[in-house]
Amino acid sequence: MNKVPRFISLMTDTIAKALIKDDHYRWFYEDFIKFATGIDLKDYIAIDNELNTGNKVKDYRADTIFLNKNRLVNLEFNQFVHTHTMIKNIKYAFRMAGNGYLSGEQYYHRFVIQINLNNIIKDSKVKEWNEKDYKLEDYNSKAYLKDVRIITIDLRKYKGIVYDGTNKYETFLSMLTAESYEEMERIVGDLEEGKIIMKKLKELGMDDEFGMYYDAEIVHRKEVNSARSDGRKEGASNEKKSIAKNLLKDGLPIPKVCKYTGLSKKQVSMLM
């Protein structure tokens, strides 16, 4: 019986870091970012903000950052966008800009651009923040800080767009909104570049080890959203158990299920 690849969404740090680190696929992100923002990442290097931790789960979940001398671009993949998502991202952008101190009073100037890729809006308050280009401005003088820029790309504008022979970059952005391979195949049509990315996604979807790292990010995101939205731990725990059940169904041994969900051996055993 042939194994069917699980669906891997383009809207995770895990998949972004895997593709961006591979010279065969990085162009995908460079192309749609330049189209949507005018920013050319070809002269930037992709960096890890947590190098050599030895914890692949943590490294895959780390931010997707590009650096060119003192210019830093951070990509934020927001599959589900809450008010706290936007607030966190804005604060994080200013924190990165202020992290130019090397030691003591020694300082080097840093210019930060944060690009928020927003997909599914979960809070009506967020709608007015979409498609905005933020700068820190003084209310009275109207002078603004040029060190930080926050760009939001509303992916809902591209949902449902299919390749027609002329709209390659809109198709790339539409691919980010796909929730199944069937939907992505319909979007891509006969666009060769899109087929290349989809083929790689299916390869990763067949890789059980990569799937564990992918699941770890999904669990982490749901934990954060659950904790912030209702203040209870039950939601996060249930999400972990749901993921654990799926991993067990795929035949993963209990120790690995424990490793990638954070559940105890006893908790996992009770799910069998």
Q: Is 24 exposed, middle or buried (0-12, 13-18, 19+ CB in 10 A)?
A: exposed
Q: At what angle do helices 168-176 and 181-188 cross, to 10 degrees?
A: 170
Q: Which two tokens stand for residue 156?
A: 């809902």
pLDDT at 120: 85
Last residue of a domain, one of 205, 233, 254: 205
pLDDT at 189: 97
In a domain, residue 4? The reply is no
Tens of each residue's pLDDT in the chain, 272 residues: 467 888 989 998 889 988 998 889 999 999 999 999 999 999 998 876 444 444 554 444 456 889 898 888 999 998 888 888 888 887 888 777 776 544 445 556 778 899 999 998 877 777 666 656 666 665 676 666 678 888 999 999 999 999 999 999 999 999 999 999 999 999 999 999 999 999 999 999 898 888 877 877 766 666 555 555 554 455 556 667 777 777 777 677 888 778 777 788 888 888 87
Q: Do 140 and 244 fall within a single domain?
A: no
Could you give the CA distance from residue 96 to residue 99 in angstroms, rounded to a whole number?
A: 5
In a domain, residue 7? The reply is no
Q: Do 182 and 223 fall within a single domain?
A: no
In a domain, residue 6? The reply is no
Q: Do 86 and 154 fall within a single domain?
A: yes
In a domain, residue 95? The reply is yes
Q: Do 181 and 238 fall within a single domain?
A: no
Q: Do 258 and 124 fall within a single domain?
A: no
Place of tokens 């995101």: 221
Place of tokens 């690995």: 256
What beta strand segments (E) does 205-271 contain? Answer: none
Q: Do 145 and 218 fall within a single domain?
A: no
Q: What is the pTM of this model?
A: 0.74
Q: Do 35 and 63 fall within a single domain?
A: yes
Q: Do 27 and 46 fall within a single domain?
A: yes
**Of the candidates 234, 220, 225, 221, the residue with the CA atom closest to the CA atom of residue 82:** 225
**Terminal C-alpha separation, the chain:** 24
173 is in which domain, residue-wise?
A: 13-205
| Cα–Cα separations (whole angstroms), residue 1 to 4, 21, 83, 246 | 9, 33, 45, 19
Structural domains of the chain, count: 2
Q: Do 89 and 123 fall within a single domain?
A: yes
| Cα–Cα separations (whole angstroms), residue 108 to 46, 50, 95, 98, 100 | 20, 20, 14, 10, 5
In a domain, residue 172? The reply is yes
Q: Do 122 and 70 fall within a single domain?
A: yes
Last residue of a domain, one of 205, 228, 244: 205
- 135 Cβ neighbours under 8 A, 6+ residues apart: 144, 145, 146, 148, 149, 150
pLDDT at 195: 98
pLDDT at 224: 57
Last residue of a domain, one of 149, 176, 205: 205
Q: Do 158 and 123 fall within a single domain?
A: yes
Place of tokens 């709209």: 167
